[in-house]
Amino acid sequence: MVKAGGGARHAGPDLLELLELTGAVLVHTPIASGCIPYAHPQNMGVGGSKGSLCANFAMENADLLIAVGTRAACQSDSSRTGYPAAARVVNINADLADATHYNRTLALLGDVRLTLQELNRALREKPLKADAAWPRSCAAKKADWQALKVERFQTPVLPDEYWGSAVMTQPAAIKIALDWAGERGAVVFFDAGDVQANGFQIAEDDHPDRTFTETGASYMGFATSALLATAAASQPFYALALTGDGSFTMNPQILIDGLEHGAHGCILILDNSQMGAISGLQQAQYGAEFATSGRVHVDYAAWGRAVPGVLALDGGRTPESLRAALHQAGSHPGLSLIHLPVYFGPHELGGVGVFGRWNVGNWCDETQSLRHTIGL
């Protein structure tokens, strides 16, 4: 399998040729979304600690890893346990440390696109006999993944204990927001945390630079801060920042800076008063969650209204009310903020699930044990 990172984001034609010549499948990091169209049958989407069902299937079963322009951060390879069946690695990178990150590696140092072109030339001269069963098995998993997502989109509202009523699920809310952004050609920024984890699994980009997410450092407040780029860019643009209640609270400065400098975009706060990504990984690995929830109800719309010039809206609790708020925000000439209560709980349709591993918090015994047995 090919793992494409940020350094391969604009190497789409060369990646597609590599897939054709080898019969490999591609898994990408969140920042490389759209490096090849999501609809391509050999594109399995995002893999890693919060990766998709099909991408993590490919990572678990691939016998050769071709890493292209990726740092292999802990989330990207499930705390270095993402490739238990890989016997060898070919690593294409311009950075020596990143190119030699794994054991059993053939490091190809250099510009990603030029190196891919040379590799493809060599493969054309000495063709491989590809295993047709491998991409078929991965494609079957991708079909399962698509069905899993559709099932969640078709159940957009669930009763929630924290909110005391039925509210929207994050998958359904993110899907609606992404569709709206796509219709108006808006750039989408995903913040760290549960919004990010659900978001980059739901995004189905057909070209790069449609969605941006902060991964590797998990900087809370990235998405909202990034809205300042709409004013600073040489060619101003409209952007949608999807953030959680925790990430927004960590860095609400954009409400002031955005007005000061003329930012043009929308902040959509998905509020579950929960560190949802961490909770999900805790539950998946330990069977319990710890110290990841809050009980304080905050009026984030009132926070937005406290800043003159910010259009602050209640996203309501239904798909219809969210769409109405997004359309109202989109017509505002400056900065807008939408507060949307979202579901968190044990119902399987409330999120997209966890198919990877991570040494979250204290070391997870199973994950730590795999680190010592895999050998990469």
Contacts of 56 (CB under 8 A, 6+ apart): 47, 48, 78, 82, 355, 356
Domain ranges of the chain: 2-145, 156-345
Output DSSP code: residue 227: T
| CA separation for the pair 55, 48 (Å, rounded) | 8
CB atoms within 10 A of CB 148: 18
Both tokens assigned to 91: 């690593």
For residue 71, give every residue at least 6 positions away whose Cβ sits within 8 Å of its Cβ, in sequence order, or none: 5, 6, 98, 101, 216
pLDDT of 307 strictly over 80: yes
For the chain, percent of residues with pLDDT exceeding 90 = 74
Residue 246: pLDDT over 70: yes
Dihedral angle over CA of 282, 287, 291, 294, nearest 10: 100
pLDDT-based confidence at residue 141 (cuts at 50, 70, 90): very high
Give the CATH fold of the 2-145 domain. Rossmann fold (3.40.50)
Thinking of the domain 156-345, which architecture would CATH place it in? 3-Layer(aba) Sandwich (3.40)
pLDDT tens profile 341-353: 999 988 999 988 7
CB of 30 within 8 A of CB of 212? no
pLDDT at 340: 97
pLDDT tens digits for range 42-83: 999 999 988 899 999 999 999 999 999 999 887 788 888 899
pLDDT at 360: 62
**The model's pTM:** 0.91
Residue that the structure tokens 């941006």 belong to: 212
Give me Rg for the CA atoms of the chain: 21
Do 2-145 and 156-345 have matching folds?
A: yes
Query: For residue 314, what are its two tokens?
Result: 């209640």
E strands, 172-219, where? 187-190, 211-213
How many residues comprise the chain?
376
Examine the pLDDT at 5 and tell me if it is beyond 90. Answer: yes
